[in-house]
Structure 1
Amino acid sequence: MTTTNLNISVIDKRMMKQSEAASYSGLPVKHFKAACPVRPVELKKGTLLWDRKDIDLWIDGVKSGAMTETRDDILGRL
């Protein structure tokens, strides 16, 4: 019986499309759009991407209670 080694390299994406960022945060896209204060980055013209590190900071802020938003803040993102 022979053995085979399989070398797999996985690279975590730092920049994500909106649907990926929503999934990463555990929210449906429509809730992510309304709740997430992280601004996307346009690395390529016409392509908006969200930075995983910024999303992590946002989630950490929510967990610590540091994120306080007014009604105007939320409406401003809609």
Structure 2
Amino acid sequence: MANAMLSIRIVQPRMMSMKQAADYVGLPLRRFPRICTVRPVSLPESEERYDIRDLDRWLDQIKAGNADTDAEILERLG
């Protein structure tokens, strides 16, 4: 029997759709926009996307007990 080698490369996109971002952080799509305080980025000629680094930072803040206050969220919204 012959041996074969399979080379698979998985690329994690940095910018994700809302569904991808919700899946990434482990939240249902319907709850994600209510809970997540990360603002999406408007890319030229594209839909809004969530930066994986911003999502990671948000999760790290929650883990550390430093979740955003209502005032901080309102300040970012302008």
C-alpha RMSD over aligned residues: 2.3
Give the 3 Å change call, closer, same or farther, for CA 59–5 of structure 1 in structure 2: same
* 1:70 positional shift: 2.4
Q: Which runs of 4+ in 1 moved over 3 A?
A: 71-74
- Residue 33 of structure 2 aligns with an amino acid whose one-letter code is K
Q: Percent identity?
A: 35
What residue in structure 1 maps to residue 23 of structure 2? 23
Structure 2, unpaired ranges of 5+? none
- Structure 1 residues without counterparts, runs of 5 or longer: none
Match of 1:50 in 2: 50
With over 3 angstroms needed to count, the CA separation of the structure-2 counterparts of 1:14 and 1:46, relative to structure 1, is: closer
Figure out how many residues of one structure are paired with residues of the other and give that number.
Answer: 76
